[in-house]
Amino acid sequence: MARHLRGGEPVTWRVERHVAPRFWILGAVVLGLVGAFLLRTFVFGVYYVPSGSMLDTIHEGDLLLGERVSLGFDDPNPGDIVTFNSPLEEGETLVKRVIAVGGQTIDLRDGVVYVDGEALDEPYVGGRPTESLSDLAGSEGITYPYVVPEGTVWVMGDNRTNSKDSRYFGPVSVDDVTSRARFIYWPIWDVRAL
């Protein structure tokens, strides 16, 4: 567009639009998806809790963030809340608390858990007794005291009277542990670090 000023010289105005090429937009989308995939695969996992086996620590319907990176450097430790591949149902993920690790001895006496002869202080069970599940149909029939094999962890739900756990299916391989549960992020009234 040209316009003449009083002096007679034409002045040209040109309007340039800078539009990001489509490949930049597509590249950003692809990079974001790849980044999300890598984070979800190697850094954290998102888990839905379908049962009340971890009450009152974790409630049915809670959504958890589980951290995976530290498992590459450090096996699960007693007290950790972990997610792991279910030994009961293919493709299912369970969440429980690690009570003992390979080489430690578990015993159940009068509703109390003993590890290496010491009674555990377990305020998270809310006074519920811990009984053997060996007499349930389909259980591994574990007898106590029981030495946890190396390379495995002994896990139990905090809701001891309503949890199928290592008392039922036995110890869990460290290789089947998928994350350490770190944070409840939904519903809003349950949001907290674990």
- The catalytic residues are 53, 96
What backbone torsions phi and psi does residue 21 show, to the nearest 5 degrees?
-60, 150
3-class DSSP state for residue 66? strand
Tokens in use for 143?
Answer: 């007898």
DSSP for residue 27: H
Q: CA-to-CA distance for 95 and 63, rounded, in angstroms?
A: 11
Q: CA-to-CA distance for 178 and 42, rounded, in angstroms?
A: 10
Do the beta carbons of residue 113 and residue 98 sit within 8 Å?
no
